[in-house]
Structure 1
Amino acid sequence: MKENILISQEKTILEALQRLNTVRDVSRLILFVIDEKQTVIGSLTDGDIRRSLTKNVDLQLKVRDICNKNFFFEYDTPGFLNLHSYRKKNIKILPILGRDKRMVRLVDLEKTRSLLPLECMIMAGGRGKRLSPLTDKIPKPMLPLGDKPIIEHNIDRLISFGIEKIYISVKYLGEQLQDYFGDGSKKGIRIEYVWEDEPLGTAGALALVTDFETENVLLMNSDLFTNVDFEDLYLDMVKNNSDMVVASTEYKVDVPYAVFETDGEKVVNFQEKPSYIYQSNAGIYILNKKLIKGIPKNKFYDITDLMENLVKEGGKLNFSPIRGYWIDIGKPVDYKQAQEFVKHIKG
């Protein structure tokens, strides 16, 4: 949170104008007025100041006398916060306050799509042999894609959905990821690294986290390039009361021959060169953290093992189709496709 967006109620209009000139990297020039207890009592924009000056040309008026005390805000809660209603009202900046009305954080609705109550683990420990020699000295998640590494595209998208705590499981050349992202503070989040002494599969690293703070955990592969809507995925899980939801992508199979429908040896119908579309695993999951207790510690364990056990035990596993683009960067042809595709993606 930017401290210069808070201003004491005792400051003057002139001082407020000077402070507004220092506000950067937000979608609207706005200040929040605080009292001596740091309680937020109102908001102040350049429009509020102009309206005051048209009535009384006095730059020495205190901001407490002209601020908007009926400003929009939300209390800080651990649950899901729907931002769509604020967008409909053209609200650009939404303050999140504690129960004491002190500022906890600011949400810039131009940059933040959602506020999901999720922590995330990104699986980034693989060797990436199929992309050799590109990955001989650089871990696959750190291969450049446009102006930043593959994994940074995913981290930035997670941030845009309000996810503030990310674990990254690392093994092969993991120091490069650690050096690049550090503790995440430069991006305004927290990042922790989970080191795999031996390869642990696509889910084994989850068992190395002592305790996730959120009820549900997002797990994803690091080598994806996608604009998946994490909010859709989360809401599908909530709506269906699922134990786990898997993002899916369409996989089309074209059969180059006629396919018979038979009754014994008799052909009762046939289709000429049919196409079949299947929903396939896209490498992005949200799961209830209680499932993590079933993952053996320090043993190889794939997410498909967890999914199989969940279905066998009568748990609820759902899929949620990705409605945007999705590229799994596993082979050189995939990497080349992603490099071309990213050129046409806006900011």
Structure 2
Amino acid sequence: MNKILINENNTILEALNKLNSIKDVSRLILFVQDDNKKIIGTLTDGDIRRSLTQKKNIQEKISSVCNRNFTSIQKGYSFINLKEYRNRDLKIIPVLDEEQKFVEILDIDKIKAVLPLECMIMAGGRGKRLSPLTDNVPKPMLLLGGIPIIEHNINRLISYGIKKIYISVKYLGEQIEEYFGDGSSKGISIQYVWEEQPLGTAGALSLVDQFKSKHVLLMNSDLFTNVDFEDLYLTLIQSDAEMAVASTEYKVDIPYAVFETKGNYVKNFKEKPSYIYQSNAGIYILKTEVIKEIPKNSYFDITDLMEKIVNENRKLIYNPILGYWIDIGKPVDYKYAKNFIKHLEL
């Protein structure tokens, strides 16, 4: 981040050299600090061109050139609607602390949202149906388009502003931990939750001492999808539900006529009908307080929690995935995913 920070006493020439060294951000911009590290303005190549056109002095201090009327976000934000900033054609927004000191930037061209969520990825399964591919490699680490399946999911979570990820591991989990480390190489924090015994699809949540977000995203590691996490989150919040489940359509084709009957009488029939059902896609957002209902360090599936919520007449909602979704559980699924990714622009 020091590459995009500059002191107000530096000259335009020094700023130009620094701008030319910037990489990996969507817009060439510097954030101008005073001697107390307080951000007082922004500086772009456009600001410099306007100054040179008027004053023609490349040794001018940037304190007199920078834009002091800039947009920022305060540290500690929760949900931010990025559409507002995109509509104003803003690309880079600084996050500042209470003293107006630099914390981080939000690169709006590189992120889809900023969700106030922590996430747990379930990655402890054996993946027997994919044997022998999974005999020496955990299923989440099978390559898809040159990178592990689980990395596709982590990258997508990052694009939605999620920075704290727990990964539940058991079978060959050392390979996952060695590959991702603490997450710092991706600018996030990753913590590993080791299952001493199989805990089902939700039991590992009970092993986290304390989640810091009000809601937690839980997902399977063997999914390849472009699910809209923001839409799932907003649907949950707007419905004031305790849990939201991402769903995918499952079509059932009946090859025969289906009768509508009353006693022995056929009242009506449909010839070879098709039925579409909303099915569990293995992605959930739930209130953190609901996790207290999961027994500690015991086998517990997320469907057990869903059933409990429904039976107690509490709110469980679903949100359809409108893009692609592949559950890589069998060799045919893996083959399909590998062919499918060749036609995507990632």
| TM superposition score normalised by structure 1 | 0.99
Deviations for 1:307-338, whole angstroms, at most 9, x for unmatched residues? 01111222210000001000000000000010
State how far apart, in whole Å, the 1-side matches of 2:102 and 2:283 are: 33
**Which residue of 1 is the match for residue 112 of structure 2?**
113
What secondary structure, in the 3-state scheme, does the structure 2 residue paired with 1:51 have? Answer: helix
**Which residue of 1 is the match for residue 183 of structure 2?**
184
Q: Aligned AA for 2:280?
A: N
**Which residue of 2 is the match for residue 333 of structure 1?**
332
State how far apart, in whole Å, the 2-side matches of 1:38 and 1:112 are: 27
- The question of 1:231 aligning with 2:230 is answered yes
What secondary structure, in the 3-state scheme, does the structure 2 residue paired with 1:116 have? Answer: coil
RMSD: 0.7
- Extract unaligned runs of 5+ from structure 2: none
State how far apart, in whole Å, the 1-side matches of 2:96 and 2:111 are: 17
What secondary structure, in the 3-state scheme, does the structure 2 residue paired with 1:168 have? Answer: strand
State how far apart, in whole Å, the 2-side matches of 1:264 and 1:65 are: 89
What secondary structure, in the 3-state scheme, does the structure 2 residue paired with 1:236 have? Answer: helix
1:116, distance to aligned residue in structure 2 (A): 0.1
**Which residue of 2 is the match for residue 197 of structure 1?**
196
1:298, distance to aligned residue in structure 2 (A): 1.4
**Which residue of 1 is the match for residue 242 of structure 2?**
243
**Which residue of 2 is the match for residue 207 of structure 1?**
206
1:98, distance to aligned residue in structure 2 (A): 1.5
Aligned-residue identity in percent: 64
Q: Aligned AA for 2:172?
A: L
Deviations for 1:220-240, whole angstroms, at most 9, x for unmatched residues? 000000000000000000110
State how far apart, in whole Å, the 1-side matches of 2:261 and 2:314 are: 36
**Which residue of 2 is the match for residue 47 of structure 1?**
46
State how far apart, in whole Å, the 2-side matches of 1:182 and 1:24 are: 24
1:39, distance to aligned residue in structure 2 (A): 1.0
**Which residue of 2 is the match for residue 261 of structure 1?**
260
**Which residue of 2 is the match for residue 13 of structure 1?**
12
**Which residue of 2 is the match for residue 129 of structure 1?**
128
- The question of 1:138 aligning with 2:137 is answered yes
1:78, distance to aligned residue in structure 2 (A): 3.8
**Which residue of 2 is the match for residue 23 of structure 1?**
22
What secondary structure, in the 3-state scheme, does the structure 2 residue paired with 1:64 have? Answer: helix
- The question of 1:278 aligning with 2:284 is answered no
State how far apart, in whole Å, the 1-side matches of 2:36 and 2:318 are: 48
Q: Aligned AA for 1:295?
A: I
- Extract unaligned runs of 5+ from structure 1: none
What secondary structure, in the 3-state scheme, does the structure 2 residue paired with 1:91 have? Answer: coil
Deviations for 1:163-195, whole angstroms, at most 9, x for unmatched residues? 000000000000000000000000000000000
1:4, distance to aligned residue in structure 2 (A): 1.2
Pairing 1:161-176 to 2, within 5 Å after superposition: 161-176=160-175
1:40, distance to aligned residue in structure 2 (A): 0.8
Q: Aligned AA for 2:239?
A: N
- The question of 1:287 aligning with 2:286 is answered yes
Question: Where do 4+ consecutive residues of structure 1 move more than 2 Å?
Answer: none
What secondary structure, in the 3-state scheme, does the structure 2 residue paired with 1:49 have? Answer: helix
State how far apart, in whole Å, the 2-side matches of 1:281 and 1:78 are: 31
State how far apart, in whole Å, the 2-side matches of 1:219 and 1:50 are: 49
**Which residue of 1 is the match for residue 302 of structure 2?**
303
1:77, distance to aligned residue in structure 2 (A): 2.7
**Which residue of 1 is the match for residue 216 of structure 2?**
217
Deviations for 1:8-38, whole angstroms, at most 9, x for unmatched residues? 0111101100111111100100000011121
- Name whichever of 268-277 and 101-110 sits farther off: 101-110
What secondary structure, in the 3-state scheme, does the structure 2 residue paired with 1:133 have? Answer: coil
**Which residue of 1 is the match for residue 152 of structure 2?**
153
Q: Aligned AA for 1:267?
A: V
1:263, distance to aligned residue in structure 2 (A): 1.2
State how far apart, in whole Å, the 2-side matches of 1:243 and 1:100 are: 37
Deviations for 1:66-96, whole angstroms, at most 9, x for unmatched residues? 0011112111234100101111121111111
- Name whichever of 157-166 and 93-102 sits farther off: 93-102
Deviations for 1:97-142, whole angstroms, at most 9, x for unmatched residues? 1122111110111111100000000000000000000000000000
